[in-house]
Structure 1
Amino acid sequence: MARSRSARPRRYLMCPPAHFTVTCADNAWADPAKPVDAALALAQWEQLREVYRSLGHTVEVLAPEPGLPDMVFTADGALVVDGRVFGARFAHARREPEAEAHLRWFAGNGFAHLHVPVHINEGEGDFAVTASWVLAGRGFRTNPLAHGEAQEFLGRPVVGLELVDPCFYHLGLALAVLDDAADEVAYLPAAFSPGSREVLRRLFPDALVASEEDAAVFGLNAVSDGLHVVLPQAAAGLCGALRDRGFTPVGVDLSELHKGGGGVKCCSLELRD
């Protein structure tokens, strides 16, 4: 029998893809040879924003800046827990101005506890927050030393997980938090090293195990409020599995933004304040 679920209002920071384009192949999904339809990318982003608002959530907007095509992926720019902002330090220097833009927004919007990181980390791209832990990816982008740095600043236990598949170079592509009040997640085992798979099995024995087909359409790059799970509509198998567990999947189309290697979660930085 499916569990009874309830939604909790959330607040997200989003940035419209006003300057979005794919200029270099810096991840397994990005191909500069594939043209980007800027109008369609904006329309898809606006649909996602309206979905959040229709579900009762608040969307704050980070103003896009010229020359920063990946700024739409706000989740990469910080991690916010208990009102404390752990800033990003990007693996690719061309994205570093995004981290600075994020911190300026937080400083101007009432967040008093800001941390400029020493070690490379890509915000919620590689960090996921559950009730008991902060899960932290490593292997492609985030430096393992950033895990300890985050733990010291946030005062929450951080669990490191090794990513091994370049198609899932961020934790946010390989794992989704479904219920952050009950330590419930979904993940793709093949994206993790054997040791990390065992850690996940021990921490989350009842986790939803996703298929490679659903993960390949960014199905795990999802956002949940405890009841509604916003994810790509193409992840049909995952949508069915979520319904079986009492969740309400809400399908969206972010196919243009997928060309840059990002999906629903990448576009949605949760403001846990």
Structure 2
Amino acid sequence: MDWGRNYLLVDPEHFRIDYRINPYMDPTQQPDLARARAQWQSLIEAIDAAGGSVEVLDQSPDCPDMVYAMNLAQVWTRAGQRHALLSHMRYPQRRLETPAVAEWLTEHGYQLHWIGTPELADTTQLDTDGSPAPHFESGDAFWWRDELIIGHGPRSQAAAVDRVGAITGVPTVGIAITHPAMFHLDLSFCPLTETAALVCPGAFDPADADALLARVPDPITLGVDEALDFAANCIVVGDTVLGPRLDDRLIKELDSRGLRHVALDLSEFQLSGGSARCLSNPLDITFS
């Protein structure tokens, strides 16, 4: 693919599980921070070894989930101008992450966009009529084959799909996520090449699963159990797929498409519902 070589990661200094907002999270099972840092560093080293690069954002002490950088903003470049659409998180526990990343993005020359108005103290965004703006979390959006594929249901709302298209100026396709443990699209869908993608049909409304598969010329389908083991939560750097250990079937599927797989132990982050894709936000997407 023509993107996926430059990523933003968030330092996991304050990573912890303070609450339960997805089926993986249990505040009685805290991550080992030393192991988490070693695993996070291994992801950076693997990206570098595959020919990519990483920029690092400090984690705010009051944002334990901020380490999942993919959820912070949808980032793109058009005509040399950098843009970022800030997420409007469904859960209030995560909304303080938005102003934290907004500061970094502004410092790095990004023009900021919002689903609604960003001015409220609790970072709840409103529409111009004072009603709540629809939720949008960037872990639900993938730029692929000249479209933004946007999952909605558990986190992002269907009303955000067209609005994201209007802000970015690109076609959007909404896909209804129905499985509660695949709360972001990046847990059930992963573009691999210009034609191939990992897809878990069991994560979606059946009609939308068919619609998504129809858009993928060369799908590799995942069972629900495989997706719940984070098989789709990978990143692709050139011809290298970085993510959790995969079974022999999936490794053979990747190999047949000229892709090699590098298995990473990111188990400390999986305790809170994320793996390689959740931890990394691509900065090199270009819209024409």
Alignment pair present for 1:256 and 2:251: no
Deviation at 1:135, TM superposition (A): 0.3
Deviation at 1:225, TM superposition (A): 2.5
Alignment pair present for 1:152 and 2:169: no
Question: Which position in structure 1 is the counterpart of 2:278?
Answer: 266
Query: More deviation in 90-99 or 113-122?
Result: 113-122
Question: Which position in structure 2 is the counterpart of 1:26?
Answer: 21
Unaligned runs of 5+ in 1: 1-5
Query: More deviation in 150-159 or 232-241?
Result: 232-241
8 Å contact from structure 2 (residues 266, 275) kept in 1: yes
The whole-number CA distance in structure 2 between the counterparts of 1:267 and 1:259 is: 13
Residues 49 and 110 from structure 1, CA distance in 2 versus in 1: closer, same or farther, beyond 3 angstroms? same
Alignment pair present for 1:63 and 2:58: yes
The whole-number CA distance in structure 1 between the counterparts of 2:229 and 2:189 is: 13
CA RMSD of aligned residues (A): 1.6
The whole-number CA distance in structure 2 between the counterparts of 1:183 and 1:147 is: 23
1:118-267 superposed matches below 5 A: 118=116, 119-123=134-138, 125-179=139-193, 182-267=194-279
Deviation at 1:132, TM superposition (A): 2.0
8 Å contact from structure 1 (residues 132, 183) kept in 2: no
Question: Which position in structure 1 is the counterpart of 2:131?
Answer: none
Question: Which position in structure 1 is the counterpart of 2:114?
Answer: 116
Residues 167 and 235 from structure 1, CA distance in 2 versus in 1: closer, same or farther, beyond 3 angstroms? farther
Report the AA paired with residue 65 of structure 1.
S
Alignment pair present for 1:36 and 2:31: yes
Task: Compute the TM-score of the two structures, normalised by the length of structure 2.
Answer: 0.87
Aligned residues with identical type, % of pairs: 30
The whole-number CA distance in structure 1 between the counterparts of 2:4 and 2:278 is: 19
Unaligned runs of 5+ in 2: 117-133
Task: Compute the TM-score of the two structures, normalised by the length of structure 1.
Answer: 0.92
The whole-number CA distance in structure 2 between the counterparts of 1:8 and 1:129 is: 9
Deviation at 1:10, TM superposition (A): 1.3
Report the AA paired with residue 84 of structure 2.
V
Q: Tell me, what secondary structure is at the counterpart of 2:90?
A: coil
The whole-number CA distance in structure 2 between the counterparts of 1:68 and 1:237 is: 38
In the comparison of the two structures, how many residue pairs are matched?
Answer: 264
Deviation at 1:107, TM superposition (A): 0.5
